[in-house]
Amino acid sequence: MRRRALPALDWFRLAAAILVVTIHTSPLSSLSAGADFWLTRVAARIAVPFFLMVSGYFLALHHWQHLRNFLGRTLLLYGAAILLYLPMNLYSGSFSSVGWLRAVFWEGTLYHLWYFPALFWGTLLSWLLLRLGNRCALAGAIFLYLIGLGGDSYYGLAARLPALKQGYDLLFSLTEHTRNGIFYVPLFLLLGAQGIRLRTGTALTGFCLSLVGMSAEAFFLHSLDAQRHDSMYLLLPVCMVFLLALLLNGNRCRSHAARDLSLLVYLIHPGCIVAVRVLARLTHSWDILVESSLPYFAAVLVLSLSAACLLYRIRPLPVNPKARAWREVDLGALCHNANVLEQAAGPGCALMAVVKADAYGHGARVVARALFKTGIRTFAVACLEEGIALRRAGIRGCILILGWTSPEQAPLLARWRLTQAVADTAHGAALSRTGYNVHVHLAVDTGMHRLGIACEDVEALAALYRLPGIQVDGIFSHLCVSDSLEGRDVSYTDRQVSAFRTVVERLKAQGISPGKIHLLASYGMLNRPEKGFDYARAGIILYGVYSDDSPVCFRPDLQPVLTLRARVAAVRELASGESAGYGLAFTAVRPTRIAVVTIGYADGLPRDLAYHGGQVLIHGSFCPMVGRLCMDQLMVDVTEAKTVQPGDTVTLIGRDGNAVIRAERVAEQCGTITNELLSRLGHRLPVVALHQSGRS
């Protein structure tokens, strides 16, 4: 008999959040002090350790690879909670400036918010302890927990020894509780990370017995008046190991609703407590709503759950980037390519990452951020808007605009600290008259006759260095036929290189420091052994592809970065002789299965790709495109791919299993180069970053 799929962990999250509400409302206090003590100071104390253990379990499940994201989300939630309760803090005036800093960084700015800084610091400490090995980490966490135990439920006993009392008193001058990120959190995180599995009967029996034992422990300590606080018991970790094992046995799926509602209840219930008390005052029902513990708890719980459900209902829902068509960008391959090209450039020559045209269709922000983390500090774009977008994405260092920018835009060049290429002498003069100190690189025309000051006019170049209002930080040129190994083209490139070197030497002879010097772009790096430059401008080859399959002198170990994918929307059966698509351009010559794929020419694909042998990969098999590409869909023949069904992933560029569709091949089919093909990929194609091993 198939067992029903239950989200046991997520359902218990919600139960744990309700237990936290009981701690702060004491539901049984007006009925029985003993029963309320057991509910709120014993049974409900499993709630927070459960949250911690689940966090440790999922962190370990992914080998702690998501630690940075986890810590970032924790701080984001904590910051939102601080802002949410800031009016209450200001109204109460409960913190001095020093006390506020201590509350923010350590204790929490409201009584339930201690959890977030404790989780942050405790997770960091757990990760550091794991550097010592699993056993040492657990031993260290147990040791810290025992110290914390003496400052919590066992404080009255520990304080009987003068030396221990002095130690704990010193500790309490630094932190209000030992229920914090040092003594309390690491043990439960690391126990959760173990993911201990036990038989259901064993786990249930162990949980019940340990809960009974913890209850006896709590009442015994309570009778001795030993508890300074009551969050930490000797048997609590034992109880939690059995509880998590029991829940793991019943856990078959996830419930995002229960998970999110538990977090919302935890965050907002103190505000609901205040709301209920205010309502009781306004309606003169204090005796019923507050003094009577069960109605008080019920009112707070109902309001908390209702508010949580409302917030959950109106929450922003993220769009799945893989729902229709998308670009996968392998950042591991990108960083590998950057490292290979930096080594190829040689000592003293840094890589200038060319990320124009949305990083050749790879997503400029994602690419630039990844490269920045590897140490690259110089980027090139085509226009002002691209440069500003990089700055807004947090990219520092030099961003060189290779294209023309109107001098009227000089305020923006200065504000965003962008470096502008000087297109000609008039452009440089106009930039200098704007009144803004604009950083520039001088473009030298060595024979391409596009942008730049003629290489023969060295005096004009020298004059630009002396102009006020612009700061010349570098000089460069561009090789127009360096991608060709034909004798005539090689000779032309030789003349360009010689002309550029002559310009630089003549400037130096006049006592002018030319600044950063750069000449080689992608194919210059592949076909020219030139040295002595400060930058190498890596464009298309940075992304692991070549413009085409023309021969090159040097073919480095590069890895393709981009994979283009889409989905199968529908599968149609065509009888022999039936036609499909615009203009009925495809006619089946046999019974045929046609898959409709969710990508079209509006996403950047050439409209005539199907007529030039266009193919896709589905389940690792090649399937030919048929008919005319539509704006938003295309059709492929999947007659031989028997298992294709709606929702399947389709690969248009990249690898699927052992089969590959190379970008160079697709560009060749369309009579163009990869530079154009990839740069045309539309902005409505989301970028999904793969960090390593194909994981997004």
User: And the tokens for 65?
Assistant: 């690879």
The residue whose two tokens read 């990929």 is 681
- The model's confidence at residue 693, banded by pLDDT at 50, 70 and 90, is very low
Percent of the residues in the chain that have a pLDDT greater than 90, as a whole number: 91
- The model's confidence at residue 1, banded by pLDDT at 50, 70 and 90, is very low
Judge if 606 and 491 occupy the same domain.
Answer: no
Q: Is the pTM of this model over 0.85?
A: no
Q: Is residue 676 part of a domain?
A: no
Q: Once rounded to an integer, what is the mean pLDDT over residues 371-386?
A: 97
Question: Which residues have C-beta within 8 Å of that of residue 609, sequence separation ≥ 6?
Answer: 625, 629, 634, 666, 669, 670
The residue whose two tokens read 């950063």 is 516
State the helix-helix crossing angle for 331-345 and 364-373, rounded to 10 degrees: 60
* Catalytic residue, candidates 111, 508, 531, 582: 582
pLDDT of residue 5: 63
Q: Once rounded to an integer, what is the mean pLDDT over residues 102-107?
A: 90
165 is catalytic: no
Judge if 47 and 182 occupy the same domain.
Answer: yes
User: And the tokens for 310?
Assistant: 């409302």
Domain ends where: 252, 272, 303? 252
User: And the tokens for 323?
Assistant: 């729902």
pLDDT of residue 90: 81
Nearest to 236 by CA among 419, 34, 52, 448: 52
Judge if 263 and 246 occupy the same domain.
Answer: no
Beta bridge partners of 568: 597
The residue whose two tokens read 């927070």 is 48
- Residue pair 482/493 in contact (Cβ under 8 Å)? The answer is yes
642 is catalytic: no
pLDDT of residue 3: 52
SS3 content of the chain, % helix, strand, coil (to 5): 50, 15, 35
Looking at residue 556, what DSSP letter applies? -
d(CA 678, CA 546): 11
Please check the confidence at residue 504 and state whether its pLDDT lies above 60. Answer: yes
pLDDT in tens, 544-558: 999 999 999 999 999
- The model's confidence at residue 432, banded by pLDDT at 50, 70 and 90, is very high
Q: Tell me the residue type at 277.
A: R
The residue whose two tokens read 């290979």 is 340
pLDDT of residue 88: 86
CB atoms within 10 A of CB 381: 26
CA-based angle 574:579:582, to the nearest 5? 125
Question: Which residues have C-beta within 8 Å of that of residue 76, sequence separation ≥ 6?
Answer: none
pLDDT of residue 18: 97
Q: Is residue 689 part of a domain?
A: no
Percent of the residues in the chain that have a pLDDT greater than 70, as a whole number: 98
Domain that includes residue 283, residue range: 255-317
Judge if 534 and 491 occupy the same domain.
Answer: yes
Question: Hey, CA dihedral for 382, 388, 390, 395, is it positive or negative?
Answer: positive
* Catalytic residue, candidates 85, 145, 356, 523: 356
Q: CATH number of the domain that 628 lies in?
A: 2.40.37.10
Please check the confidence at residue 146 and state whether its pLDDT lies above 50. Answer: yes
Judge if 530 and 655 occupy the same domain.
Answer: no
Q: Once rounded to an integer, what is the mean pLDDT over residues 569-585?
A: 95
Judge if 313 and 231 occupy the same domain.
Answer: no
- 325 burial level (CB within 10 Å; 0-12, 13-18, 19+): buried
The residue ranking higher by pLDDT, 319 or 648, is 648
Would strands 592-597 and 562-574 be described as parallel, antiparallel, or unpaired? antiparallel
